[in-house]
Structure 1
Amino acid sequence: MRILVIQHSSKEHAGGFRPLFERDGHQIVTCTAPQEIGDVDLSNVDGLWVLGGPMQVWEADELPWLAKEIEVIREAVVERKLPYFGICLGHQLLAHVLGGTVGVAAQSEVGLLHANKIGAPPMLDAVPGRFPCFQWHSAEVSQLPAGATILAETDYCAVQAMAWGRSVSSVQFHAELDVATLSDWYEIEGCEEALRQEIGDAADHVFDDLAASEPALSRMRACLYQHWLTGFTA
């Protein structure tokens, strides 16, 4: 398949999912917003991924390129019925497009934390009921879109994962993050300092913690990815 990945920095890429795409021979086309969002053409892609970024959904009025990205997602999901997967901002933008509400979170979540499955969702079938995941968000989906289902939650964020039909799904947590991806994030000016400001001394061992959790994180990524692929036969 030919899959379009919208990212908001060259360093904030699909991370640990990239080897899975490569293994299965999918052609990945990247669009870095805002520079390239105006050039998106959905007529020659089979699926869409939208990744995270520091901007907020409600800033679309001030950021015309973000408004354009929202319309790209709307066209992909609502009009073209393309399989879609969103991460962090991509999760929130999806909820917004589908009629949900996104707002400031009552409690930010940052660092390697844990989420809890709700029921036995196929999207997280091989994942234990409580699983590790890396978080970095200060906004959240506060009202679920009509027709969507919540698949995971944390104590502070009720919509950590959701599905809308069989081919559209998203997660609030950074499922793509592994040690190599965080290293790339650290090349973004101010990233390391911002993380340290959020989690304090825990930043000293965040790489070690990620490495120790990689077997569980890898299983979670593989499960999310394999379930998303079923959208092509939905």
Structure 2
Amino acid sequence: MTLRIHALLHVDFEDLGFIKQWANNHGHTISYTRFYSQASLPEQDTFDWLIVMGGPMNIHDEQEFPWLADEKQFIQQSIDNSKNVIGICLGAQLIAHCLGATVKPSGVKEIGWLPIELTEEGKSHPLLQKLPKQAFTVFHWHGDGFDCPKGATAIATSDAWANQGFIYQTPMHKELGSFVIGWQCHFEVTQESMVKMVEHGRDEIQNELNNYHESVQSPAEIIECGNQYIGDNNAWLAVMLDKISSI
């Protein structure tokens, strides 16, 4: 089955990364709303999956980014229409907000390759069976965090912030076999997309290194660790996407 995927992009240096490779490999189509250059949103009946990407803004920054209000409404409509909705970093925070959860500064910055661990519910969830049962390393870039939405399953945690991911389903999602998923981390980064993020975020990294030396890595360390971890992260993401698309 060919899927019609629509992606919401907030900045030009955070793109779909490996998700685009996966979609192309399976013959799926991708359309985009690029809020940094145009904010037109499609009709709900023109796509099957919604993917909400990351960005440096806060979900409450509607005065500076007026399109956030329309985006939240669009995400809510997509959830109400029982679509597969996948959020990454800011995208996960926006979804959590739409589901009524609190999104706020976590009190710590996580930037770099750092460990998370699946919760017991995450370890047993059908979508996550191929992910490691022990702590594993993923790419982070966030200072805000979300509470687990009411009715959702908390699937991952870290030492810095308890809620690193969730899966949510309405009764209609369950009937259709679709999911709403939020991850704080970036399974999707490729070497190219990670370097692009680092280049655009060097000033932030330098500013935060002294404040959060245990959870913020230098640009050189991030890029070096990427060589070690990107392959596994992309493989785990592929398994999740394959499982979702097969249900």
Q: TM-score, normalised by structure 1?
A: 0.89
1:168 lines up with 2:180 in the alignment: yes
Q: Following superposition of structure 1 onto structure 2, how do residues 204-215 of structure 1 map, counting pairs within 5 Å? A: 204-215=220-231
Amino acid at match of 2:245: L
TM superposition shift of 1:34: 4.2
Judged with a 3 Å threshold, the aligned counterparts in structure 2 of structure 1 residues 38 and 18 are, in CA distance, closer, same or farther, namely closer
Report the CA distance between 1:226 and its aligned residue: 2.1
Contact 2:6 2:47 in 1 (8 A): yes
Give 1:182's aligned residue. Answer: 194
SS of 2:138's partner is strand
Which residue, 193, 198, 204 being the options, matches 2:208?
A: 198
2:89 is matched with 88
- CA offset at residue 73 of structure 1? 0.2
Shift of 1:145: 1.6
Looking at structure 2, the residues matched to 40 and 198 of structure 1 have their Cα atoms a distance apart, in angstroms, of 38
For each residue in 1:33-59, what CA deviation from the matched residue of structure 2 results, as whole angstroms up to 9, or x when unmatched? 143323432221111000001111122
Structure 1 equivalent of residue 148 of structure 2? 144
Could you tell me which residue of structure 2 aligns to residue 116 of structure 1?
A: 117
Map 1:39-54; keep pairs closer than 5 Å: 39-54=41-56
1:64 aligns with 2:66: yes
Q: In the TM superposition, what is the alpha-carbon distance from 1:170 to its structure 2 partner?
A: 1.3
Q: How large is the RMSD of aligned CA atoms in angstroms? A: 1.8
- Provide the rounded CA distance (Å) in 1 between the counterparts of 2:18 and 2:167: 21
- The answer to whether residue 125 in structure 2 is matched with residue 126 in structure 1 is no
1:152 Cα deviation (Å)? 0.5
Write the distance in 2 (CA, Å) between the matches of 1:146 and 1:124. Answer: 20
Aligned to 2:174: none
Q: Distance in 1 between matches of 2:195 and 2:70?
A: 30
Displacement of 1:186 in angstroms is 4.5
**Which residue identity lines up with residue 152 of structure 2 in the other structure?**
A
Q: Distance in 1 between matches of 2:141 and 2:6?
A: 23
Structure 1, 44-53 or 214-223: larger mean CA deviation: 214-223
Task: Return the match for 1:222 from 205, 213, 238.
Answer: 238
Greater mean deviation of Cα atoms: 114-123 or 22-31: 114-123
Residue 7 of structure 1 aligns with which residue?
Answer: 9
Aligned length: 227
Give the whole-Å Cα distance in 2 for the aligned partners of 1:22 and 1:49.
Answer: 15
The letter for the 2-side match of 1:87 is: I
Note if contact 2:198-2:219 (Cα within 8 Å) is conserved in structure 1.
Answer: no
Q: Which amino acid aligns with 1:136?
A: W
Q: Which residue of 1 aligns with 2:214?
A: none
Whether the 8 Å CA contact 1:169–1:228 is kept in 2: the answer is no
Deviation at 1:30, TM superposition (A): 1.4
Superposition deviation, residue 31 in structure 1: 1.2
State how far apart, in whole Å, the 1-side matches of 2:144 and 2:117 are: 19
